[in-house]
Amino acid sequence: MQSETSDYSVYRRLVSQLLQGEEQLPSLPTLTMDIRRALGDPNISLNALTRLISRDPALSALLIKHASSALHRTTTAPKTLLEVISRLGMAEVDRITMAHSIKSLFTLHSPKHKQLFIEAWERVVIKASTCTLLARQLGHVTAEHALLASLLSEVGTLVVLSAFRSDSVPLSSALYYKLCREYSKSLGIIVLKKWSVDNDYIEIIRNTGNWQHSPAGKLQLLDMVNLALYHSLKEHEPTADLPPLQELAAYKKLTPPQNSIDENGELSLLSSHRAEILAIAQTLR
């Protein structure tokens, strides 16, 4: 097991490399940037956008899969990429493009680290799917917006792992999660700024896991992310030191019957829609 001194030594080296520009933080692929620019162009035609997106077969397949998923209940599935983009809309295509890029950026070569990534991505996916379900059931925030916010709030978790690209620095699960708890927020903020992501998402990272913080007024994006994170931690870290759900600022905004709590201390709303959460998750794996 890594010593406390070694833990901090690993991170000091990581931070030093970041500050000196020696460590190459993940960058969005050129094609992703081209697609996002096109999506932001009010004059772009669907045909032109379709041709651009078709240059990325993996993204095209994901968009088709997403358009036929639990998020879009329709009687007929779209048959062409053009139909898929028309059905999803520009905003959702943008979010799915980002989600696809996030996953593809952090694939590692070391078998040990790849396994850690797979485990981390699965947790990220379940959290994002939970956040999506909350948005669908509670309103106030679109499901697609909730999905992307939850994914982006975990970018730092994946960046921590990407710092260990070979087995030259052994990385145990315990060390990885310790580093994530300590440093994922700061790394996530750096990366999202590099990607020129909207500042709203950066603020989500700053306040994710702050159970007593909630924007004034109705339920907002941060509330959904924190509720999803809370339930994700309960599922994946049973010994985590969490307050009762009733004490969360986000929970206090819920009204009956959405605030019903089951025998496990979780929202009944989520436990009763577990199958739908898993269906959403399947589109992200």
Span 262-275, average pLDDT: 90
Question: At 131, is the pLDDT very low, low, confident or very high (cuts 50, 70, 90)?
Answer: very high
Do residues 194 and 138 lie in contact, with contact meaning Cβ atoms separated by under 8 Å? no
Residues 255, 126 share a domain? yes
φ/ψ of 129, rounded to 5, equals -70, -35
CA distance 37 to 58: 19
Average pLDDT for 248-255? 93
Q: What pLDDT, on a 0 to 100 scale, did the predictor assign at position 231?
A: 93
Q: Give the domain range for residue 182.
A: 107-282
Name which of 161, 162, 155, 164 is nearest 190 in CA terms: 155
Co-location of 170 and 264 in the same domain: yes
The tokens describing 200, both together, are 């709203």
Per-residue pLDDT, 98: 80
Query: Which tens digit of pLDDT belongs to each residue from 69-128?
Result: 655 556 677 778 998 888 888 877 887 888 788 877 766 666 777 788 888 888 999 999
Mean pLDDT to the nearest integer, 132-140: 90
- The reply to whether 99 falls in a domain is yes
Q: 3-state class of 267 per DSSP?
A: strand
Give whole-number Cα distances, 248 to 180, 213, 214, in Å. 22, 8, 9
Domain-terminating residue out of 59, 79, 105: 105
Burial (Cβ within 10 Å: 0-12, 13-18, ≥19) of residue 188: buried
Structural contact between residues 155 and 191, judged by C-beta atoms closer than 8 angstroms = yes
Taking 80 as the threshold, does the pLDDT of residue 268 lie above it? yes
User: Does the pLDDT value for residue 5 go beyond 80?
Assistant: no
pTM of the entire predicted model: 0.81
Does the pLDDT of residue 129 top 80, yes or no?
Answer: yes
Q: pLDDT by residue (tens digit) across 7-54? A: 557 656 765 565 555 456 677 778 888 888 888 788 888 899 899 999
Residues 6+ apart with CB under 8 A from 72: 66, 87, 88
| Domain match, 66 and 156 both | no
Q: How far is CA 135 from CA 147, 206, 256, in A?
A: 9, 20, 16
Would you say residue 49 lies in a domain? Answer: yes
Proportion of the chain above pLDDT 70, given as a percent: 84
pLDDT digits (tens, 9 = 90+) for 157-201: 888 777 766 555 566 777 778 778 887 888 888 888 888 788 888
CB 192 within 8 Å of CB 102: no
Residues 100 and 112 reside in one and the same domain: no
